[in-house]
Amino acid sequence: MYVFTSPSVCKKMRLQILLIVLFSMFLLHSLPSFSWGQIAFKIEAPNSVTLSDKITVRFVLTNAKGSNFKDPEVEGVSTLYPPSKAMTEREFNGKPSTIYTGTYLAEKVGTIHIGSAQVQAKGKVYKTSPLFIKVLPQEKELKKQSRSSSSFFIRTIPGHTTVYLQEGILVSYKIYARSNRFEFEQSKFPEYDGFVEEEIKTPLQSQLAMEHYNGQNYYTAIIRQSVIMPQRSGELTIPEGEINLIVALEKSIENEDEFFDTSSTPTDRKKMLTPKVKIKVLDLPQPTPENFGGGVGSFSIKAELPDGDKVKTDEPFRMRVTIAGKGNLKLLTPPTLKLPESFEILDQSSQYDIAASTDGIKGQRVIEYQINPRNTGNYSIPSLSLVYFDPAKKRYVTEQTQEISFSVKKGSALAYEEKESSLSLSLEKDIAPLQKKPFYNKSLTQFLYSPFYWLFYLIPLSIAFIGGWGYKRYRKSLEDVAGTKCRKAAKSTMQRLRNLEKEIGKEENSSFYASLLSSVHTYLSDKFQIPTSHLSTINIREKLKATNCSEEVIEEFLEVIQQVEYSRYAPTGIDLSPSSLLERTKTVIETIESKK
């Protein structure tokens, strides 16, 4: 059997496809230019500084030239040089930008407030968001031995060391480092014996922050957090874990070539153990009240009939019980449902919407019952009592639901069969029968003299000829390895950058910058046929000049390479986010390719 489509329908379909293609091409052409041309005004500054440090704050206006800049109000610092008097204008790839740079001095320990700055551009006023900078005390002098021993260490920080049975404890693992040039290797966190753990979801990229601890300033980061609940009373121990680091060592740079030589950067592997911590677990007060279901925390309970008063005999209805709050929701036993004798529970299911955070384990647990009534009449479901222990109040608490009253009307056990039969009838009517019309009704003799017959021979021969010609060209291109790499250098690099853009936020900053630097080096090596180990500022500059690149483009490209190299080991000291640095790299490569 075959389906026949009328010519008018085909014409309409072709018109719709054409409109969709044209609209898609318009979006692909217009949206990127629209997003690239947007005006943005943002502030760039360090997250933390040390007392008496000079603070450089940049106010960056992109895609426009600014005027009538208004300095922000500042608190906790003295202004050494206002940003309104330090303005620079740049133009890259035809897009102007204006940068206002202010210099301030941190005068006291605490928090600095940088207010909103404003500027005019193209008839509109743009403002930056307020910014807070943490000022740390100056460091105390330590002995050389003490300084080296405390360069890197891990702290195990429990929220409480004395808790009740089943009470949640926040446990944080925090790294302290004197240098921010390090990255994590595969580590093994403790396995909790006697606890149930709920890990808190944390970002894959943890931003380092400065913290003053024991008289010294450290780069710190929370590397893991969990909420653990003790399952037995007495003294329990949070065991040791193993954290592995790769630390970049300081090296002296004698010339520009050594700055770009990533293979010569000395590193050291460090293995650290997280400290053991003892937890004292108290047993719950005795005697426990009747109907206690093991809940520890703070909860509420609600019961309802989602179907309302539409209850009929022999037609199951739903009853929903919701327990919400903070605590061991997954471990508590819900209260027992007591129903009249003529009611039967057919099914029971539970759904959890629970998440662990630094404030504990919160959410709700929904228990849904499928109940079948057998007799008509007026009925009521007694209130449910949820008994739990509240550690904050140090006593047992009882929460109750309201009694539910409803009436059961006469129903039919055949209701579901009638619905199924009506549904099957509607489906039969919904599908139209296919037309039984032959596709080709001519005789075999007529077919042998038709053009279709000769096409059966010509098409395979044409495919074979085109395939042989294409394979010959392909073999020839494989022999020219260097030329192929040069021609495809930009295309393959842009593909790697697009793949890398998808990984932003999924991996550590150091891995991102290492991949980005490798892509840039591979591009230069393929395009100019220079081994990666021989790349230097001098030969990169000479090769770019040979391609008729302007001095501005060359300087921008070298600055991008320097920024990526520095960001690999010092992610907190950079002015650009990973996405901004990636876009900057893509833009400068596109500019170089346009000079061909």
The architecture that CATH gives domain 481-595 is Up-down Bundle (1.20)
Instruction: Check if the beta carbon of residue 410 is closer than 8 Å to that of residue 313.
Output: yes
The closest alpha carbon to 223, from 168, 268, 179, 186, belongs to 186
- Cβ-proximal residues to 435 (8 Å cutoff; 6+ apart), any chain: 1, 2, 3, 4
| Mean per-residue pLDDT over the chain, rounded | 80
Q: Is pLDDT of 407 > 70?
A: yes
Contact 43, 74 (CB under 8 A): no
Residue 27 clears pLDDT 70, i.e. is over it? no
Cα 373-375-379 angle, rounded to 5 deg: 75
Q: Do domains 40-136 and 481-595 have the same CATH topology?
A: no
- CATH code for the structural domain at 152-249+265-282: 2.60.40
pLDDT tens-digit map of 281-321: 999 999 999 889 999 999 999 999 987 778 888 888 999 99
Tell me the per-residue pLDDT of 172-229, one tens digit each, with 9 for 90 and over: 999 999 888 888 888 888 888 999 999 998 776 667 888 888 888 898 989 899 999 9
Q: Model confidence over 71-84: pLDDT tens digits?
A: 999 988 888 889 98
Could you tell me what percent of the chain has a pLDDT over 70?
77
Q: In the structure, what pLDDT confidence band is assigned to residue 453 with cuts at 50, 70 and 90? A: low
CATH class for the domain made up of 292-408: mainly beta
Among 315, 337, 296, 515, CA closest to 415 = 315
- Over residues 31-61, the pLDDT tens digits come to 444 445 688 889 988 888 888 888 899 999 8
8 pLDDT band, cuts 50/70/90, is: very low
Specify the pairing of strand 385-390 against strand 292-304. parallel
> Residue 322 is encoded by which pair of tokens?
């919701």
Question: What CATH number is given for 40-136 in this structure?
Answer: 2.60.40.10
525-558: per-residue pLDDT in tens? 887 887 776 777 788 888 888 887 888 888 888 8
Of the candidates 113, 60, 54, which has an alpha carbon nearest to the alpha carbon of residue 80?
54
Give the phi and the psi of residue 393 in degrees, each rounded to 5: -90, -15
* Per-domain boundaries in the chain: 40-136, 152-249+265-282, 292-408, 481-595
Residue 569: pLDDT band with limits 50, 70, 90: low
Output phi, psi for 331, to 5 deg: -95, -20
Residue-wise pLDDT for 468-492, tens only, equals 787 777 776 666 666 677 777 778 8
Alpha helices in 102-255 (DSSP H): 144-149
Cβ(299)–Cβ(388) below 8 Å: yes
Residue 69 confidence (pLDDT): 92
How many C-beta neighbours within 10 Å does residue 175 have?
A: 23
Three-state SS string over 215-238 comes to CEEEEEEEEEEEEEEECCCEEEEE
Q: What is the pTM of this model?
A: 0.55
Q: How large is the average pLDDT for residues 152-157? A: 92
